[in-house]
Structure 1
Amino acid sequence: MTTAFGTTNAAVLKDSKLQIQTFHGLKSSGSVPLSRNVNVFSVSSSSSSSSSLIKAVSTPVKPDTSSEPKRSKVEILKEQSNFIRYPLNEELLTDAPNINEAATQLIKFHGSYQQANRDERGPKSYSFMLRTKNPCGKVPNQLYLTMDDLADQFGIGTLRLTTRQTFQLHGVLKKDLKTVMSSIIRSMGSTLGACGDLNRNVLAPAAPFARKDYVFAQETADNIAALLTPQSGFYYDMWVDGEKVMSAEPPEVVEARNDNSHGTNFPDSPEPIYGTQFLPRKFKIAVTVPTDNSVDILTNDIGVVVVTDADGEPQGFNIYVGGGMGRTHRLETTFPRLAEPLGYVPKEDILYVVKAIVVTQRENGRRDDRKYSRMKYLISSWGIEKFRSVVEQYYGRKFEPFRELPGWEFKSYLGWNEQGNGGLFCGLHVDNGRIGGTMKKTLREIIEKYNLNVRLTPNQNIILCDIRRAWKRPITTALAQAGLLHPRYVDPLNLTAMACPALPLCPLAITEAERGIPDLLKRVRAVFEKVGLKYSESVVIRVTGCPNGCARPYMAELGLVGDGPNSYQIWLGGTPNQTSLAKCFLNKVKIQDLENVLEPLFYYWRRKRHTKESFGSFTNRMGFEKLKDLVDKWEGPVEAPARFNLKLFADKETYEAMDELAKLQNKNAHELAMEVVRNFVAAQQNGKGE
């Protein structure tokens, strides 16, 4: 039975419920057993193959509500929202500075969170954070300039680069939302689906290489993003009065979305893949090429890896599933998880496979308790074999065996690089992804003057693309004057560090992250010097203000996760190539007591590590019981490393010039000069001197 689904009246939607019947005891060669948690419309298929059909029947008009599955409040709000419109459309018209609870949930689908400044006392000071959606981190020139303008005109004067290759714009007032949204849309941008219970921004390596595998990975990410973009028009109705400001989609995307030969779609629905309920929770996808783990591939719900032949021609994809970072303190049934191999598929099938995985989660992910709604919990419950079997029935084919891959490496793409098409790109480190002040002004001038496109990285950095060789010298000079130095002059600890925004605006934050990490990194550097570690050595440090894991702390060698006022859990055991999951080492460590933990850990790493053994690998090898014993018995280094004082400045003019550059980085001239000297010596020792 197929039910038409075209009405836009919320009341009619609510009163016309149909529920897919759950089938019990079916064999794997038959229909997919469904366990629906939501009221949806039944699915039909024109396929004659009963082995791949999803069979469904409608329930009576007045079903026995005693047997209805429990649903969270958000699920009911979505069902009654007329496809994410009501009551947000009404709330935006009121004079109040905020919106009600239902609208607060719905505006997430439009790419925004309501926030309040938690530093201020008294009545709440409401504003909105907007997050863009930029597959592969691609930002056209016009969009960058628009975002830069909007930050000054309607935000707090800064842009923030996220760990999913997007912008966040903070501090937008409710009365300005439509102006800001429409400006983004008309500048080739979007915020649609950047938040909410649907597919988020699709990651891919940001490097604009002309290589076939990189280009193919980025095209695939674009197509997956298009496939899973909502179709019901709620976004454009709200922000540009229904005008569809969209580019044409590739025909293969349209074909894959509309295909219902294996019962994946809601026929005649404005949302053929999502239906009225969308997904149980957020959904994250990343695409990359072998060895390039700039995207933290194992932290995603779906990880897609291009597989090429000997000539570098893309042939298909390895698929990982089930990664995710979020957890809840003191609830061991919630946990971060690494994705695991699902199988290999030929390149022409990738959109159908992604759709089959999404539908498997849509039909079976928990909708009663949002703490357990991510796909990682479904796979943990079912096991990978059952999950693969269900996905194969929506896909219509068996997965081929996973193809062997080389080892993963973290690639930052900082500094000057060849694109492979005659042009250059320049990767710039941005501390915590926060662009403001002189840096923001200079980037604007360079991007505008040279008409550059931009890419954002999953490590909160920015890449300037398509630079002519003649522009390299003037751009380098301008960047240096703004404090955007060559990566060799940036502290190695800073290069891989990440933090979430946390306080004062994030409502979930328990303690500091972005505002606290600059001082934290200086303290770690001081500990390095105290225990005799070289300046060129580093560890991957990530800090979050709560356990949700937005900066992926559970993949860090040293992760700090807020668990109370000025208090953190310490997680250890991630690796520099982002392939190992960290574990909780200590709870409730006050920020002022960190050195008591870090000094013995770093000291014994220096003394007892194997050759080239990373800090994360060292902590895993030693084991937490032994490490805790070393921390408990710590009384300071056995020997103090030798220290040498060098007179670095022979003339006043050089000192004053260095002092000006140092101030841009919140340092003094001596500190900056020592960094330059250390990096120069290290480069010479490594055979990389120029």
Structure 2
Amino acid sequence: MTLKQNNLPQPQAWKPSEVETIKTNSNYLRGTLEQSLNDAITGAIAPDDTQLIKFHGSYQQTDRDLDEERKNQKLEPLYSFMIRARVPAGIATAAQWLAMDELADKYGNGTLKLTTRQAFQLHGIVKKNLRQTIQGINDALLDSIAACGDVNRNVMSTSNEGLSPVVGELAGFAKAISEHLLPKTTAYHEIWLNKQLVTGGQQDEEPIYGKTYLPRKFKIAIAVPPYNDTDVFANDIGLIAIVKDNQLLGYNVAVGGGMGKTYGMPETYPRLADVIGFVPKDKALAVVEEIVKVQRDFGNRENRKLARLKYTLDRIGSEVFVELLQARLGFELEDSKPYVFESNGDVFGWKKAADGKWFLGLHIEHGRIKDTDALQLKQALKEVAQLEVCDFRLTGNQGLVLGNVITRNKLKIQEILGRYAAGDAQELSGLRKHAIACVALNTCTMAFAEAERYLPSLVTKLESLLEKFGLSNEDILIRMTGCPNGCGRPFLGEIGLVGRAMGKYNLYLGAGFAGERLNTLYKEMVSEADILQLLEPLFESYAGERAVKERFGDFLVRTGVIVASQQVQTIK
């Protein structure tokens, strides 16, 4: 595609949405957060501040299990806050793991959540403990700035160095992107870390974002074929590492992915990113920055439901978008390079990296680190961290990799994990190994239905059907969310369940196993009984009629059970 300077579209003037006005008037994300935190009368913060605190890495929530009871008692909802720590490429030290573990016990609900964006989440933080918790995160050399909000969020990257010799380099680039795109406002340090307030005419500047930041959240992920374990096509920017002779050449660039939609608004939809070309690695950061700036200038600032990059891309056209990007860069993208993805799940067990270090992929059910009577997972991982013989690498599938282990320390780790029977995926069904669920109820304000608390029991029932047809060991992607915002990437599940109401879900089928095809709506408003009834004959047909090595989603498309939905496109 050649450079074109003429007849390119110009940014339009939008009637600003309410959130845009809040950002404009916030003095670079300060708002009245100081006053809200100091207001001891309520456990909540001011309404405008609930938008601004997202940029600082936190969401205000309530315990929805108790809302009705507290209302009857004429009490305000039981407010608390979720805090998300930014962890580029998901790589944390043992000391950082221990710090997050301690903060979860001291200020949170005693559990850690590993997210689908390779970040830590703490839940149940009351307002009076917000500062201490964020300061504790900072003391561990982590932070929560830009973990949420209308900015670039945690940058994902394949974290298991046993999968490719370039994984370490990719993680370094993920960190470089994250630092480059961090908001430059000093509000975070002033409010949470007791730094001096900016006064005396000093002025914050945001050279990349501008005063109103981005129109909506922005997500970036890196993956190295054949492993698409970060679901690059679900991101605003997906960077596909191109490797030759174990050397990183650069990246195929994909733009315009996003999972969220809104019920009752057909103009909203999930979308996979388009591959628009290749960039050598020394120019990749410039390409990332300019894509962000195009979205800053052309994104919809009037309707937040239509504000993601995917809608910008479809509104102005993919080819025009590339022309705009290249005109700003001053150089052309090269034609995309060949690549093949084989899966978008995690790899479990020990893998040896090129430098001789070992990496252990562990299954963590829905990313929840907690102790129960049946499994003391939190204690097991705490004891492993106390050995100080490995780092802790969060995956894009709510899993965990224990990394950089020298050979003589493998047995120490295995002894602890074996004692607690923690994280071993060998005995799990192919369905459970690849299951993802968002938090949903009881804390997420947007959830219509259960997800994390319910999916394990549903999987148990589905496992009975799979065993009946000899499919227990078949890897099948199942994903469940409590709403259609897509935090668990449900539209990339071979089986996707999206909450509509308590106990009711929309059933989607037929995504690609490597994340390159969306699934298709199969049945609306289904109950658990409906789900089991609908899937049983499909499992039976799959067991008897599939081709050799044919995936469940591909089988459903080939046999006409569903019509294939959007697949990744390459823009020439």
TM-score, normalised to structure 1, is 0.77
Task: Name stretches of at least 5 consecutive residues in structure 2 with no aligned partner.
Answer: 198-202, 565-572
Deviation digits for residues 391-420 of structure 1, max 9, x if unmatched?
112212111111122344335132112122
Deviation digits for residues 599-635 of structure 1, max 9, x if unmatched?
11111222222222111011112224799xxxxxxxx
Instruction: State the identity as a percent.
Output: 37
Instruction: Name the residue aligned to 1:612.
Output: 549
Contact 2:429 2:474 in 1 (8 A): no
Deviation at 1:464, TM superposition (A): 1.3
Deviation at 1:590, TM superposition (A): 1.4
Is 1:34 matched up with 2:22? no
Instruction: Name the residue aligned to 1:150.
Output: 103
Deviation at 1:575, TM superposition (A): 2.1
Is 1:526 matched up with 2:471? no
Q: Partners of 1:489 and 1:348 in 2: how far apart?
A: 44
Deviation digits for residues 432-485 of structure 1, max 9, x if unmatched?
110111110111011112343211000111111222222222321221222215
Contact 1:140 1:188 in 2 (8 A): no
In structure 2, which of residues 376, 379, 393 is the aligned counterpart of residue 455 of structure 1?
393
Instruction: Name the residue aligned to 1:391.
Output: 325
In structure 1, which of residues 109, 113, 118 is the aligned counterpart of residue 55 of structure 2?
109
Deviation at 1:314, TM superposition (A): 2.1
Deviation at 1:214, TM superposition (A): 1.7
Contact 2:163 2:351 in 1 (8 A): no
Q: Partners of 1:407 and 1:155 in 2: how far apart?
A: 38
Is 1:76 matched up with 2:21? yes
Contact 2:43 2:127 in 1 (8 A): yes
In structure 1, which of residues 569, 586, 598 is the aligned counterpart of residue 535 of structure 2?
598
Contact 2:159 2:167 in 1 (8 A): no
Q: Partners of 2:12 and 2:138 in 1: how far apart?
A: 35
Instruction: Name the residue aligned to 1:561.
Output: 498
Instruction: Name the residue aligned to 1:355.
Output: 289
SS at match of 2:156: coil
Deviation digits for residues 199-248 of structure 1, max 9, x if unmatched?
0110100113495422221121111111100112111111112279xxxx
The aligned amino acid for 2:28 is: F
Deviation at 1:117, TM superposition (A): 0.3
The aligned amino acid for 1:107 is: I
Q: Partners of 1:492 and 1:615 in 2: how far apart?
A: 12
Is 1:168 matched up with 2:121? yes
Instruction: Name the residue aligned to 1:184.
Output: 137
Distance 1:625 1:111, change over 3 A: closer
Is 1:550 matched up with 2:484? no
Distance 1:460 1:404, change over 3 A: same
Q: Which structure has more RCO (C-alpha within 8 Å, separation ≥ 6)?
A: 2
Matches within 5 A, 1:578-597: 578-597=515-534
Contact 1:32 1:393 in 2 (8 A): no
The aligned amino acid for 1:284 is: K
Is 1:474 matched up with 2:412? yes
Deviation at 1:500, TM superposition (A): 0.3
Which segment is superposed worse, 208-217 or 190-199? 208-217
SS at match of 1:219: helix
Q: Partners of 1:451 and 1:568 in 2: how far apart?
A: 44
In structure 2, which of residues 432, 436, 440 is the aligned counterpart of residue 498 of structure 1?
436
Q: Partners of 2:4 and 2:352 in 1: how far apart?
A: 51
Contact 1:316 1:346 in 2 (8 A): yes
Q: Partners of 2:487 and 2:278 in 1: how far apart?
A: 29
Q: Partners of 1:457 and 1:233 in 2: how far apart?
A: 30
Instruction: Name the residue aligned to 1:98.
Output: 44
Instruction: Name the residue aligned to 2:209.
Output: 274
In structure 1, which of residues 111, 131, 135 is the aligned counterpart of residue 84 of structure 2?
131
Q: Partners of 1:582 and 1:357 in 2: how far apart?
A: 27
Instruction: Name the residue aligned to 1:13.
Output: none
Q: Partners of 1:179 and 1:156 in 2: how far apart?
A: 15
Instruction: Name the residue aligned to 2:224.
Output: 289
The aligned amino acid for 2:299 is: G
Which segment is superposed worse, 550-559 or 611-620? 611-620
SS at match of 1:487: coil
Instruction: Name the residue aligned to 2:306.
Output: 372
Deviation at 1:363, TM superposition (A): 0.3
Contact 2:278 2:336 in 1 (8 A): yes
Instruction: Name the residue aligned to 1:342.
Output: 276
Contact 1:269 1:275 in 2 (8 A): no
Is 1:401 matched up with 2:354? no
SS at match of 2:500: strand
The aligned amino acid for 1:355 is: E
Instruction: Name the residue aligned to 2:65.
Output: 119
SS at match of 1:306: strand
Q: Partners of 2:523 and 2:424 in 1: how far apart?
A: 36
The structure whose Rg is larger is 1
Distance 1:486 1:135, change over 3 A: same
Deviation at 1:350, TM superposition (A): 1.0
Which segment is superposed worse, 617-626 or 198-207? 617-626
Is 1:418 matched up with 2:363? no
Q: Partners of 1:439 and 1:534 in 2: how far apart?
A: 28
Q: Partners of 2:43 and 2:557 in 1: how far apart?
A: 50
In structure 2, which of residues 403, 416, 440 is the aligned counterpart of residue 465 of structure 1?
403
Instruction: Name the residue aligned to 2:236.
Output: 301
Q: Partners of 2:164 and 2:480 in 1: how far apart?
A: 34
Task: Name stretches of at least 5 consecutive residues in structure 1 with no aligned partner.
Answer: 1-26, 38-68, 245-267, 628-690
Distance 1:505 1:87, change over 3 A: same
Contact 2:380 2:422 in 1 (8 A): no
Contact 1:408 1:579 in 2 (8 A): no
Q: Partners of 1:452 and 1:342 in 2: how far apart?
A: 38
Instruction: Name the residue aligned to 2:32.
Output: 87
SS at match of 2:166: helix
Q: Partners of 1:209 and 1:394 in 2: how far apart?
A: 38
The aligned amino acid for 1:617 is: D
Contact 1:306 1:316 in 2 (8 A): yes
Contact 1:297 1:303 in 2 (8 A): yes
Deviation at 1:28, TM superposition (A): 4.4
Instruction: Name the residue aligned to 2:567.
Output: none
Instruction: Name the residue aligned to 1:49.
Output: none
Is 1:236 matched up with 2:189? yes
Matches within 5 A, 1:228-267: 228-242=181-195
